Structure 1
Amino acid sequence: MKKLSFILAPFTIIYGVIVATRNLLFDLKILPNIMPQIPSIGIGNLNVGGTGKSVLVDYLITYFKQKKTPFVISRGYKRKTRGVIIANDKSSALTIGDEPYQFFSKHKIGVIVCENRKDGLNILMQKNLKPDVIIFDDLMQHRYVTPHCLVITTSFNQIFFDDHLLPLGRLREHTTQVKRANIILVTKCPNDISLKDQLQIKHRINPQSYQKIFFTKLVYGKDIINKKNKKSLTKLKFPFLLITGIANSDHLVSFLKSKSLNFEHLKYSNHHNFGLSDTKKIKQKMQSQIVLTTEKDFGRLEPFFNSNELFYLPIEMRFFTKKKEDEFILFLKKNIRIV
């Protein structure tokens, strides 16, 4: 391990210089950026994947669509298309990416995917779509757009201050860039997180006067579902096959094991585009079993299975108290200047 660290260290230094120089150019306004005229929220992270960004986006959509018209602009990572695309009824996980497809199909809201978020913003304005709030997914490294409020997510088990820059660690940005955030969300916390742990984390992050830190947990549904059927999770008497293509499946696996469920886990890389060879292998293993997956993976696997075979386990982000949730919403609205 020490030998590997020694080999990777020079590349980490080079990467750090490149990233620091790029950020400096934006800070000095040498590289241009714009702030949308419409209230906007940027979701991002310092680490590579697995920090709960998509669950947060889903939470924000669910909240705002009660009384407002939210709109999501995303890169559409690992889609098979290029350029700016407005999601429509013919869209799929392949054409707009798994996460944007999940947001569009689940919530029936406006979604634009584009490599350059600035281009997506321009199209939104040209089409005169007029949402009440724009949610930019995975915006931390895309500095050509500055949102009214930047929310950074960091997982409880992999908080950014204990990590290193790529390729030695999993940081895409230096930890000093946390200064750009208005809100720091510590996600995937254990249900029994203590006040002492929270205070220690806050102390190490050392937020500025304009920043607030909140703690959240993941809550799984009681039923596994698809577009036509649902089954009680605790009543799964037979072994099933768990398929994941997410950055970190440990939390999900631990939850299922805590329910004493009998399953085999096939783990794929994050945003893996499933093909015929993958599904052939899966079907050979499943035999008469059902296949359980994540909501994000469901959109990529759905074309290969019927409604009796493939299910996903819903998941949502929750705060530990209603008071903290209200405080989060109030602070968020204050930053984006929306009532």
Structure 2
Amino acid sequence: MAYLRALLLPFSLLYGLAIWIRNRLYDWGWMKVTAFEKPVIVVGNLAVGGTGKSPMTEYLIQLLSPHYKVATLSRGYGRKTRGFLAVKADDNPATSGDEPLQFKRKFPYITVAVCESRVAGVKRLIAEGHEVILLDDAYQHRALRPGLAILLFDYQSVDKPKWLLPAGNYRDHFSERRRADLIIVSKAPMFSDENKKIKLRHLLGEKRNVPVLFSAIGYRQLTPLRPHPEMPGAILEADLSVLLLLGIANPAPLHEYIAANTGEVVELRFSDHHSYTPADVQNLIRRFGEIANPHKLIVTTEKDAQRLLIPSLVNLLADLPIYVIPIQVVFDPPDERLFQQTVLTYCREALATG
């Protein structure tokens, strides 16, 4: 791995130079930046995937939607459509992308939209009367200036070397954290080491007055992929065998959670945003059949579920006990109070002056 990293390092240096120049062009005003009077909140990261942007966006939806007309906007990674699209619950991932579809199915009462141009998308949503716009994965979209930028770092990797692509997994310079208004260390253990928290707050916040907060992932009750009278709710038990079906960027926390609460975990892993095929399902059936324990089931994520619930796969999956494990962001109470206060105050003040 170290040898491969060394071979890729010259490309990382070139990539880093290009990103640095691009950022400076925006900072110096040589490239156009658009700001908005309405509240625009960006959730993003500096690394590639796996920091929990989607659960954080869902947390914001639940926090803000009781008070404001909320819309989410993202690029719609993996979709085969172009331009602005309002996502519908009966869409498929090829139309809207898997994460926007997940948002719409979980929160049908809000507007979920996708658009390559975040500026054009925000303008349209504001024109349609939306009061707060949440942008999922738009920290690097410098053509838009957010009113509040929330930057996420993964607890397990934030203090490790920060190599840029392709030698590493950082897509922007670590120094660009200076643009954040809130920094969240995500996927922290429920009872994090206080000394490490102090170290990470110093590393991420430096001497700037930027809050560095900590959040964990909370796992909720398993639910059937498709409701069925012969598939009641399931619980994780010590004598249970689980086949984990995963197509996400960072499956380690989920694997650890399942392993800690069951007797056996078999993982069938694909790349992030993988589009499942009938051949994949046949492989899943074979792997599941190889598990000797009769007390067994299949567990997948909410994001994977969107890519499984497509017409070409539904019949193939009909007889499999597939369960989805929803996740949610969990803050320490003091951090949660500060987070909610910061977000709600920003929205209230932006709408009062906008």
**Counterparts in 2 of 1:112-123, with a 5 A limit?**
112-123=113-124
Distance in 1, matches of 2:176 and 2:321, equals 45
Supply the RMSD in Å over aligned alpha carbons: 2.1
Shift, 1:169, TM fit:
1.3
Distance (Å, rounded) in 2 between the aligned partners of 1:147 and 1:316: 24
Q: Distance in 2 between matches of 1:283 and 1:189?
A: 34
Matches within 5 A, 1:105-144: 105-108=105-108, 109-125=110-126, 128-144=127-143
Aligned residue number for residue 299 of structure 1: 306
| Cα displacement (A) at 1:292 | 1.4
Q: Which residue of 1 aligns with 2:218?
A: 219
Secondary structure of the residue aligned to 2:323 is: strand
Rate the CA distance shift 1:188–1:253 in 2: closer, same or farther, 3 A. Answer: same
Asked if residue 331 in structure 1 is aligned to residue 346 in structure 2, the reply is: no
1:198 paired residue number: 197
The answer to whether the Cα contact below 8 Å between 1:224 and 1:233 also exists between their aligned partners in 2 is no
> 2-side partners of 1:60 and 1:227: how far apart?
27
Mark the CA change 1:135 to 1:60 in structure 2 (over 3 Å): closer, same or farther: same
Paired with 1:338 and 1:161, the residues of 2 have a C-alpha distance of 37
Q: In the TM superposition, what whole-angstrom CA distance separates every residue of 1:95-152 from its partner, at most 9, and x where no partner exists?
A: 1011100001111120111111112123324xx4212211001011111111100000
Distance 1:50 1:89, change over 3 A: closer
Farther-moved stretch of structure 1 (189-198 vs 293-302):
189-198
Structure 1 gap segments, 5+ residues each? none
The aligned runs of 1:155-170 (5 Å cut-off) are 155-159=154-158, 162-170=161-169
Unaligned runs of 5+ residues in structure 2 are none
* 1:263 match: 265
Q: Do structure 1's residue 63 and structure 2's residue 70 form an aligned pair?
A: no
Aligned position for 2:233: 231
Asked whether the equivalents of residues 224 and 321 of structure 2 are also in contact (C-alpha less than 8 Å), the reply is no
2:233 counterpart SS class: strand
Residues 60/198 of structure 1: CA separation in 2 closer, same or farther (3 Å cut): same
| Contact kept in structure 2, 1:41 and 1:149, CA below 8 Å | yes
Query: In the superposition, relative to structure 1, how do residues 2 and 161 fare at CA in structure 2: closer, same or farther (>3 Å)?
Result: closer
- Runs ≥4 in structure 1, deviation > 4 angstroms? 235-238
Q: Percent identity?
A: 29
More displaced stretch, 193-202 vs 245-254: 193-202
What is the aligned partner in structure 2 of residue 16 from structure 1?
A: 16
Which stretch shifts more, 17-26 or 29-38? 29-38
| Counterpart amino acid of residue 54 in structure 1 | S
What letter matches 1:11 in structure 2?
A: F
Tell me the equivalent position of 1:38.
38
- Report deviation, 1:66: 2.3
SS in 1 for 2:47: coil
Secondary structure class of the residue paired with 1:76: coil
